[in-house]
Structure 1
Amino acid sequence: MTDSSYGPPLTPPPDRASLCDGLRFAFGTLTVLPARITRWDRPAARTGMACAPLAGLVVGLLAAAAGVPLLLLGGGPLLAAVVTVAVPAALTRGLHLDGLADTADGLGSAKPAGEALRIMKQSDIGPFGVVTLLFALLIQVAALSNAYADGWLRGALATVVAAVTARLAMTLASRDGVPPARPEGLGAAVAGVVPRAAAAALSALAVLASAAAALPLGLPAAGRQAAAVVAALLVAELLLRRCVRRFDGVTGDVFGALAEVSATTALVVLALG
């Protein structure tokens, strides 16, 4: 999810966007699944970013559908975890991982905001980005492998929760008061579009739904899943605030970084206990 990937100018917005327009926006910008974006304006962005966790739900289910059979067929937790991590990367064309690397390079550059944004927009990846990508993927695979070792259901739930939380972090980063760092690109299109009340309600719903989904595994598992979502969103919020201070706003790269960092945090928490 980078600014260079989506840059059509915003059209004069009608007052409202339909749910269908929002779903097309969410799936068309956050996944490679077939969804033709019919509107590129603020109302569509508002509805679309509110629907982002639904896109995460689909991505998570598809990832689990790839990893669980490998585990059940005797492939082992590690192989299942590697394939599971690979699916979201493929379904996003690696853009969120690219955003994580670019954001790491920008934050690590110690340059003024304008220069840091220029570094982030370059096509190459610097040393900060490479190291960050390496450790993020290793942590994700290790955490998922640990979850799969406790059974296919726990691994599948961890996969889905991480994917939903990753997109929910994007929704929260699109709330009122979060400025764009550039006047163009996806960051400018979605920055500040989601009302704070809606973002808070979606967060509460995600925590409750995550806990409810794990109830078949017992109350401790349900509490762990709720804690994973909360911890992931808190870490994403810290990163968001750091990026806003550092870059004077958000970009598409920052959204990708938030997704990967929140997913990684959720998986780590779910791997504990």
Structure 2
Amino acid sequence: MTGIRFAFGTLTVLPVRVTRWDRDAARAGMLCAPLAGLVVGFCAAAAGGPLLLLGAGPLLAALASAAVPAVLTRGLHLDGLADTADGLGSGRPAEDALRIMKQSDIGPFGVITLVFVLLTQVAAGYELYGSGGWARGAVAVALAAIVARLALTLASRTGVPAARPDGLGAAVASTVSPAAAATATLLTLAACAGAGALFGPYAAARHALAAAVALVAAHLLLRHCVRRFGGVTGDVFGAVAETAATTALVALTLG
């Protein structure tokens, strides 16, 4: 329960009180992050699918499915994505880039990144709802939310340092062992394949592959940020999550 409280209390706006804020709680919380993604994904699917069934059209369904995760996280991951884009785009040394990321305003790199990422998410959702129907679209947005939080679990694994001595990044950095991270990954990929199996064996492999591709994209961004900033921050975690979610949606529109 400590891990579930930590995951839902830090990664969602749901009224869950975090009772412990130590390394053990952080470790358990990051391992439970995909569960928080499952709830967020279910809510996103519950917003988009019924709209499509009621005749609202795939565009409105996609907009609703993209808006719900932002609301349920208070835009925390999107804000982290924008701040990380500003830090990376500044071309400054690590210390200066981290200072830019910590500022409350959003620079041009952040704005441009947010626009394109949100447009991509809505466009992918439109394709999925429009061509696959409400069920395929709902499963896709749920999968994207789960994989996004699994990317946070992997970003918390041992060997990934914190860029600052304080903040959420420092609290969860290097708390998850490689074995636990691998187990969480295998279970999540199996769940994605199981969800895809509702539409046939080919769809099962396709959904698992989309999740794997999303994790690879998130890992590449994570590795670049660690090299660029010297470690991870809360903003980097947000950027990693949004990258995984967007990549998963795009991957599911292909083939």
Q: Deviations over 1:185-220 (max 9, x none)?
A: 000000000011010111111111101111121112
Work out whether 1:268 is the aligned partner of 2:237.
Answer: no
Cα displacement (A) at 1:64: 0.6
1:134 to 115, 131, 134: 115
- Distance in 1 (CA, whole Å) between partners of 2:216 and 2:43 is 26
2:147 to 143, 165, 187: 165
Structure 2 counterpart SS, 1:214: helix
Q: Deviations over 1:199-250 (max 9, x none)?
A: 0111111111101111121112111100111000000000000000000000
- Segment of structure 1 superposing worse, 247-256 or 220-229: 220-229
- Distance in 2 (CA, whole Å) between partners of 1:248 and 1:197 is 24
2:52 to 68, 71, 96: 71
- Distance in 2 (CA, whole Å) between partners of 1:217 and 1:125 is 42
Q: Which amino acid aligns with 1:132?
A: T
Partner of 1:104: 85
Partner of 1:192: 174
- Distance in 1 (CA, whole Å) between partners of 2:214 and 2:133 is 23
Q: Deviations over 1:95-148 (max 9, x none)?
A: 100000000000010000000000000011111101100000000001011111
Work out whether 1:182 is the aligned partner of 2:182.
Answer: no
Cα displacement (A) at 1:182: 0.2
Percent of aligned pairs with the same amino acid: 70
- Distance in 1 (CA, whole Å) between partners of 2:4 and 2:189 is 21
Work out whether 1:31 is the aligned partner of 2:12.
Answer: yes
- Distance in 1 (CA, whole Å) between partners of 2:197 and 2:148 is 22
- Distance in 1 (CA, whole Å) between partners of 2:134 and 2:196 is 13
Partner of 1:16: none
- Distance in 2 (CA, whole Å) between partners of 1:125 and 1:224 is 36
Partner of 1:51: 32
Partner of 1:17: none
> Which runs of structure 2 are paired with 1:12-31 in the superposition (5 Å)?
20-31=1-12
Structure with a larger share of its residues in helix: 2
Cα displacement (A) at 1:155: 0.4
Cα displacement (A) at 1:34: 1.0
> Which runs of structure 2 are paired with 1:74-153 in the superposition (5 Å)?
74-149=55-130, 150-153=132-135
- Distance in 2 (CA, whole Å) between partners of 1:212 and 1:176 is 29
Taking structure 1 as the reference length, the TM-score comes to 0.92
Taking structure 2 as the reference length, the TM-score comes to 0.99
Cα displacement (A) at 1:271: 1.1
Q: Which amino acid aligns with 2:227?
A: R
Provide structure 1 residue ranges, at least 5 long, that are not aligned to the other structure. 1-19
Q: Deviations over 1:128-175 (max 9, x none)?
A: 101100000000001011111111110011011000000000000000
Partner of 1:231: 213
Structure 2 counterpart SS, 1:227: helix
Q: Deviations over 1:17-49 (max 9, x none)?
A: xxx111010000000011000000000000000
Q: Which amino acid aligns with 1:210?
A: C
Count of aligned positions: 254
